[in-house]
Structure 1
């Protein structure tokens, strides 16, 4: 079976996490997101282990389920919501000296049960305080932790976490290593997977040939239930700990790929100095010798800069065996940006729940639900927002020095243009009767620049793609086409006029309206070129 798994999360016992990071709320949000397996997080904390024993039951295959009496209802029925399983997981922060430098590295550990977690925690508490934070900080070498973990549980899965984060990671610019062998020495072969982190994606990691032998996983590192699934892994295995472990061991049979943050949105993608408002691409940092022009201090070297420093491949090269990945934006963020409202407003929540109720969990809505169906539930702005996310048509001001990047799906003038286009049609969007009597809803794919004039013909419809042909020949009295720039809207409209004239429509009863002088001139030119040889000259002007 195919299923999504988010293996790196945190509990309410970790610093700076939501009080709702408890089993019942994590399970609830996993259903909403479409996650079949989620990590428990923080297995080293004694209070959290006690709560997990109270609220979870083992499935007998190394995974766990929430006890029925703790299950929370979503409020609406979500078709296709998975039955959620937990896998015992935790993150450990290490600070130690090696090869003359202070190292700060985080690691993600997965275990087949709470008994194994109890034994490992018992050994770790002799080294440092594991009760102060769900993600404990220990003065222990990474190699020593790996050895201790495997001695305690030979079936443990040990994954270096968010490997590029500047301050706490395997390759971090401030305290990391230049090679994985420098970190783990003779135990390096025990490492089979690496976590890319929010500020990098697989393509960035492909630039290092030394990483080709590792599977690249992605997880949310969520500090609140709502952030589950912002990154996740797609498996095609049975639901068991050993099946997941096998899939995360090369050749990785059953590990299909990941969904990712847009890495520019991550907190450390670019370089910079937040206190002084300095945000730089790597080339700018090199130009300024890494110094902030405001205060003179060193700027924080971001993930992209660090990748470029260690890379031995050009961007765009994909190694053999590399998994596919997709980049997404959380659904409520898409809705809020598209509609021009806050993420916690009633409008955003209403659209969010309607989409989940009609089409399934977030990952289904964002990746799979047909756009013409989404349009019926969410309207043109959210539908276009989802289309742009799927195609990567976003503007992102990259994150830097601990500040998340800012994603813009619409410019305000674009959003207003879509509102204006949609306002030309008066129709109700709820109820089967209204749907039957309303307009046809259509979406157009992007057309490559320059293809329209090259392909446009004086008669017939051979130059149209299937979506454009549907719009041209639709029989409904109203046809609402939702499409972005470069999708051939003007060409489709001109051919629609031709189609109506061929069906016997009176030319004097056809009015084409557009919103700018430039668009008016373009429409006039196309109408004359396509229709004048048969139907004579038509008048085109501007309404002021």
Structure 2
């Protein structure tokens, strides 16, 4: 069966996360988004683990149901497509330690098939650090040793390096990582079968380095609020079970690929210095010795630069049997551009509410509903926006040094030309795009257009 899974999120016990990150709200927003399997996040936190045990029940296939799912939708009056949401036991762990005369800062995802396995993992980790201090605990535990603990608790417990290129906290990041997965996990590296690409890279960028060909590339939201669920996600056509999910990832049989951010939208795509407003391509940084020209401080080296430094291919080369991918822009961002206001504005929230109620969930709008039907029921501006997103006819402004990028769909004044007035729903005018924005040049830049999911 086909299903969508977001396997990296957080709870309200993690720092800098929404107080609304509880199981009931995650269930509600998974239905709004169109997600069938959601990670629990943070199972190492004692209080959250107790909540998981109290509120979830095994479904018999290694996943979990919410015992008392809320009948109310995420937003009052919203109509959503009926989805039977399941949960997968997940957690993210921050390892900060010294290895090879260098401080390493790696984040890793851990997955477990049942509560007993989680209890064993937590018992071992609690001897190393304070698990109650943060939903994503910080431990002085090398990634290699964390993997050993995971492997000894269950032959169905797995570790996947998280957002593998992020400069500060990842396996391959420019500031706290290694120059290879093998260097990080050493004698146990053969147990690593997947890596998470993170928001600032996509599979095609990873396909520039042959050393990564053996790994399945997965993507998840790393959501710090329920509204951010599904901004990246994994697609499966297999049994909806814990074993089915991880067998598909291991073998790429039944793993269909991922929905991705345009990588420029990620917070660390370009090199840069946020304080001074410097955002550069790798070649610009090299010309300036990777120093900020205004203050002289070192630039934060972004994902694009880091991949180029380690890669051994001038262009992406898709490994044989590797799953594809496709891009999405979160629906609130699309509506915000159409409305000319922020994603939290009343106008955007009303448009989001009405659009979801019309089409059932967000992934239906972004990827499933034919453009012609979007035009009939959602209006010409929304239809043209979705058409351009699917065709990759967008203009990204890259993020850098912790600042998210922006993906623009329309040129100034173009929305007015398309609709005759600024509205979202109910219009019947035929789209007539003028001054079409320059498309993202995938083929010339990275070759991604060869690797579409569909």
**Aligned CA distance change for structure 1 residues 324 and 39 (closer, same or farther; 3 Å):** same
Contact 1:92 1:107 in 2 (8 A): yes
Shift of 1:397: 1.3
**Structure-2 residue corresponding to 1:524:** none
Query: How far did residue 382 of structure 1 move?
Result: 2.0
Question: TM-score w.r.t. structure 1 length?
Answer: 0.77
Could you report, residue by residue, the CA deviation over 1:400-458 in whole angstroms, capped at 9, with x for unpaired residues?
A: 000000222222222232243x69xxx9976xxxxxxx9xx5xxxxxxxxxxxxxxxxx
Q: How far apart are residue 51 of structure 1 and its match? A: 1.0
The residue number in structure 2 matching 1:128 is 129
Match of residue 344 from structure 2: 344
Q: Report how far residue 355 of structure 1 moved.
A: 2.2
Cα 1:309–1:428, aligned 2, differ >3 Å: closer, same or farther?
Answer: closer
Q: 2:433 corresponds to which residue?
A: 484
Question: Hey, what does 1:48 align to over in structure 2?
Answer: 48
Matched, 1:23 2:23: yes
Aligned residue runs from structure 1 range 359-438, under 5 A: 359-420=359-420
Query: What is the DSSP-based 3-state SS (H/G/I as helix, E as strand, rest coil) of the residue aligned with 2:365?
Result: helix
Checking the alignment, whether the CA contact within 8 Å between 2:160 and 2:193 is kept in structure 1 is yes
Moved more, 81-90 or 382-391: 382-391
**1:372 shift after superposition:** 2.1
Separation (CA, whole Å) in 1 of partners of 2:39 and 2:339? 33
CA RMSD of aligned residues (A): 1.9
Consecutive unaligned residues of structure 2, counting only runs of 5 or more, are: 437-454
* CA distances 1:245-300 after superposition (whole Å, capped 9, x unpaired): 21121x32111100001100000000001111111111110110101111111100
Question: Superposed, which structure 2 residues align to 1:237-248 within 5 Å?
Answer: 237-248=238-249
Does the 8 A contact of 1:354 with 1:377 survive in 2? no
2:341 counterpart SS class: coil
> Is the Cα–Cα contact under 8 Å of residues 382 and 424 in structure 2 kept in the other structure?
no
Change (3 A) 1:84 1:428: closer
**How many residues end up aligned between the 2 structures?**
435
Summarize the alignment of residues 130-529 of structure 1 with structure 2, pairs less than 5 Å apart: 130-249=131-250, 251-420=251-420, 480-485=429-434
* 2:32 and 2:80 in contact (8 A); partners too: no
- Contact 1:265 1:405 (C-alpha < 8 Å) held by counterparts: yes
Shift of 1:232: 0.3
Q: How far 1:378 moved relative to its partner?
A: 2.5
Change in CA separation of 1:429 and 1:333 when aligned onto 2, cut-off 3 Å: closer
8 Å Cα contact 1:24-1:72 kept in structure 2: no
1:96 matched to 2:45? The reply is no
Contact 2:338–2:415 (8 Å) recurs in 1: yes
Give the greater-gyration-radius structure (CA): 1
Q: Judge conservation of contact 1:34–1:81 (CA < 8 Å) in 2.
A: no
Once the 2 structures are TM-superposed, how far is the Cα of residue 320 of structure 1 from its aligned partner? Answer: 1.6
3-state SS of paired residue (2:378): helix
1:65 and 2:65 aligned: yes
Q: Partners in 2 of 1:13 and 1:149 — Cα distance?
A: 22
Aligned partners of 2:425 and 2:166: how far apart in 1?
Answer: 45
**1:311 offset after TM fit, Å?**
0.7
Runs of 4+ in 1 over 6 A off after TM superposition: none
C-alpha distance in 1, partners of 2:316/2:242? 34
Distance in 2, matches of 1:373 and 1:355, equals: 12
The 3-state SS of whatever aligns with 2:386 is: helix
State the shift of 1:70 in Å.
4.3
Unaligned runs of 5+ in 1: 431-437, 442-479, 488-544
C-alpha spacing 1:49/1:16, structure 2 compared with 1 (3 Å): same
Distance of 1:79 and 1:43 partners within structure 2: 29
Q: Displacement, 1:180?
A: 1.1
Partners of 2:433 and 2:161 lie apart in 1 by 41
CA shift, 1:141, in A, is: 1.1
Distance 1:69 1:296, change over 3 A: closer
8 Å CA contact 2:80, 2:357 repeated in 1: yes
Q: What is the TM-score of this pair, normalised by structure 2?
A: 0.92
| 2:59 maps to 1:33 | no
Aligned-partner SS, 1:306: helix
